[in-house]
């Protein structure tokens, strides 16, 4: 479980099956599937009221779709990318009824995007059960052009959208599900230190 001294970073308490929920909506990326498997291994009849959206994403050492299918959920949506998984999740959230519990597991950027999608659909963020699994790579938003970069492991990094050299700050935006990147050479243009691997 990811623990951090960064105060703005959410606390990921781990996936715990909610036996009182009427329906379960699980979003898992990469190794996050293993968290879902651990949480739902003894869910029994509740799997008939469980929908799983899974993408191998960028962090899976192997494809866990067959293991998730073995749980026999009501529906399993295996999506090729994080983007398509989030589109499917948003569609499911748009028709979700009261009593549906949302779960999110995977790399931090994915979990943050699932939580943001839940909030968009009226889900209280602290009710979403979350677990970090996989890489410590960060999702970063450039504060200058507002573009996002996925799986960032170094700082500084050149923004993939506007080219500004960015210091990856430890400030995490829960609304965006991303860390903030700010210009590292604003006061001394061109004075950019070499990139360091920090979040492997």
Number of domains within the chain: 2
Range of the domain at 143: 138-197
d(CA 168, CA 119): 25
Taking 60 as the threshold, does the pLDDT of residue 4 lie above it? Answer: no
pTM for this entry: 0.85
| Domain harbouring 62, CATH code | 3.40.50.80
Residues of the chain with pLDDT > 90: what percent? 70
The mean predicted confidence, pLDDT, of the chain is 90
pLDDT tens per residue, range 49-69: 999 999 997 655 678 999 999
Last residue of a domain, one of 80, 113, 132: 132
Residues 117 and 29 in one domain: yes
Residue at 112 is within a domain: yes
Residues 63 and 39 in one domain: yes
């Amino acid at each position: 479980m990811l623990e951090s001294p960064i105060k703005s970073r959410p606390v990921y308490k781990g996936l715990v099956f909610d036996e009182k929920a009427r329906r379960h909506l699980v979003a898992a990326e990469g190794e996050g599937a293993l968290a879902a498997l651990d949480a739902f291994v003894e869910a029994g009849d509740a799997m008939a009221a469980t929908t799983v959206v899974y993408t191998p994403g960028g962090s899976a050492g192997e494809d866990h779709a067959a293991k998730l299918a073995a749980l026999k959920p009501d529906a399993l949506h295996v999506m090729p990318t994080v983007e398509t998984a989030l589109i499917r999740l948003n569609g499911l959230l748009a028709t979700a009824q009261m009593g549906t519990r949302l779960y999110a597991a995977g790399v931090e950027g994915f979990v943050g995007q699932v939580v943001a999608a839940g909030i968009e659909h009226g889900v209280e963020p602290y009710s979403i059960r979350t677990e970090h699994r996989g890489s410590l790579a960060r999702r970063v938003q450039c504060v200058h052009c507002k573009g996002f970069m996925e799986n960032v492991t170094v700082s500084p990094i050149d923004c993939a959208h506007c080219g500004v050299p960015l210091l990856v700050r430890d400030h995490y935006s829960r609304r965006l599900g991303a860390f903030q990147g700010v210009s590292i050479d604003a006061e001394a243009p061109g004075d950019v230190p070499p990139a360091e691997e920090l979040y492997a």
